[in-house]
Chain A
Amino acid sequence: MTATLSVTGLHTHFFTRAGVVKAVDGVDFQIAPGEVMGLVGESGSGKSITGFSIMGLIDDPGRIVSGSIRLKGEELVGASDEAMRAIRGNRIAMIFQDPMMTLNPVLRIDTQMVEAIRAHERVPKRDALARARDALGMVGIPAPEERLRAYPHQLSGGMRQRVAIAIAFLNEPDLIIADEPTTALDVTIQSQIIHEAQSLCKRTGTALVWITHDLAVVAGIADRIAVMYAGRIVEAGGIDAVIDTPLHPYTVGLLGSVPTSNRRGERLTQIPGMPPNVLNLPEGCAFRERCPRAAAACHAQPPIAEPRAGQVVRCFHPHGQEASR
């Protein structure tokens, strides 16, 4: 099966006055149709910039320096503005973090949905409206007919995020990039939205990149997970493998800092130190200053290793591989 999206060696750098910010510095991953991949990392790890690179929406002073992004085999890096515009919203859609901000306050829901359809297809307005109504019904919005005529301020946050998801699925895209879509919602709505998005993806064969910093959310939705740190993917693999037997010390640290019900009364472990300054990243492993397993070897860039089938890691001293130490 050909991958829906394959990203190889992606480098997106920002050329600021203070220096070059290597926001994304060598990212590789692939997603199959219908697959959900969680892209996890803390703020500034480059996960959102990866998403925007795929959309071709990197603004000055940023630039995709090298690498390749292929959508069903079609190269997107270096594609013309016109070609990218035809792809955006049609073959790749995006869902944003804050549903309060992503709908235009002065336009009704139906206007915004119909124009999303008609930007890519010549359909009569009535058909477009019918499709919009179906899409709203699909994401679990009751009385879609009524909601179509509402303005965004008349809907709740969860409703609006459902509308945003409906808009993303409108043109049956190959890929949806969701940039922390549940962060701004309360927990009960979160789980509904996650469930909704997941089942839609399975049904339509749409691949989904779910960008988040919340491991619990990822565990609930993703098939695979990629952990980013300072512009690189430090560990990737099947969701169960990575959560149950993490290899990279950073992943271990992340998982250790998530409260769970079976470790009551214990102190949560925390990762010491602060994320590195992306302006001048040290040579070698970016995590070594905070890493309990760091050694002299870490001053060189660790290669990608696959100690277990289907689970890759960028570390000289991965967990569970004590013999090789």
Chain B
Amino acid sequence: MTDGTLPIPKAQSPFRRFASEFFESWIARVALFTLLAIIVLALAAPWITPQDPYDLAQVDVLDGRLSPGSEAFAGYTMWLGSDGAGRDLYSAILYGLRISLAVGVASGVIALIIGSLIGLFAAYAGGRIETIIMRLVDLQLSFPAALTALILVAILGKGIDKIIIALVLVQWAYYARTVRGSALVERRKEYIEAATCLGLSHGRIVMRHIMPNCLAPLIVVGTVQTAHAIALEATLSFLGVGLPQTEPSLGVLIANGYEYMLSGRYWISVFPGLALLLTIVSINLVGDRLRDVLNPRLSK
């Protein structure tokens, strides 16, 4: 046997290959670096900020609406100024990022799990069950996400947990549709038929054989949807139905500064807005690059 003596080619591990391809684009490098920096800053917020904006004892109303670079009553410099309640904006933005990221990631992950299970089930079950589930998805997607979320939050009330529930309910349908699409393709492939011929159980075929092959589009949709969830949470908070004033997320901060915009105190809205913009854009750019790398049809 001629092929017998040849060793198996030591292939680059799939992850290494994927990573090197990902970093070919400088935009992706910058976006990923920005995103990581934002995450690190948000996580380290309690240790690198001069003020805890949630601790009312540290917030002094006398510091209210100070321009960037002013000195606070407590002695530290407010590089980004302060808002109407006397919160240091630099501290508030980092704490706000924590909330925004947490809400986005938590709702993204929960919606991803629920949505993809539903989508896999629909694709595998087929027939009437699939039709019912997918029409439900269509119905859900035919309403603007912001509107549905607004109604849900109005019903559920304020609070991080309620926001997450609302965002999950809004987003599961995207995942379900994506997974169902790729699962339908996978299901028709011969190795699924071969797995059936091995007498494997349905659960095993779905979870071990179909699901891993649907992961690529799921990762991309997951990234983009997380950015979407962060924007949606900011929207809800900006409209005053999201998070309470005592736990300011980026949306709340922007809303707080909105009334001062025309009086020249731009910084109260603009800096949190920039932070939000930077976060969402960097996540989206990472997502775009993931899509380019994971989609074999787009690669050269």
Contact = CB atoms under 8 A, between A and B. Distances in A.
Interface string B84-126: 0000000000000000000000000000000000000000000
Range class of the A interface residue count? 35 or more
A119 B196 CA distance: 11
Contact of B213 (A57, A104, A155): A104
Prevailing SS type, chain B contact patch: helix
A16 interface: no
B208 A115 contact: yes
B9 A102 contact: no
A85 B209 contact: no
B24 interface: no
B268 to A, nearest CB: 50
A156 B8 CA distance: 10
A107 B194 contact: no
Interface stretch (B131-139, B198-206, B219-227): B198-206
Q: Which range holds the interface residue count of chain B? A: 20 to 34
Interface in A249-275: none
Contacts of B190: 96, 98, 101-102
Given A107-B209, A119-B199, A140-B1, A154 B194 contact: no
Interface stretch (A63-71, A86-94, A127-135, A303-311): A86-94
B12 to A, nearest CB: 12
B3 interface: yes
B212 interface: yes
Contact residues of A: prevailing secondary structure: loop
A57 B199 contact: no
B248 to A, nearest CB: 44
B195 interface: yes
Nearest to A189: B3
Nearest to B190: A101
B5 interface: yes
B200 A119 contact: yes
A89 B200 contact: yes
B8 A89 contact: no
Interface stretch (A142-150, A221-229, A232-240, A282-290): A142-150
Contacts of B195: 104
A150 B11 CA distance: 10
A244 B286 CA distance: 68
Contacts of A88: 196-199
A158 interface: yes
Contacts of A85: 199, 201
Contacts of B1: 140, 142, 192
Contacts of A158: 3
A115 B189 contact: no
A106 B194 contact: no
B18 interface: no
A91 to B, nearest CB: 9
B218 to A, nearest CB: 13
A120 B204 CA distance: 13
The 8 closest A-B CB pairs, nearest first, are: A89-B199, A89-B198, A142-B4, A101-B190, A88-B199, A94-B197, A102-B194, A106-B212
Interface of B: 1, 3-5, 7-9, 11, 189-191, 193-201, 204, 208-209, 212-213
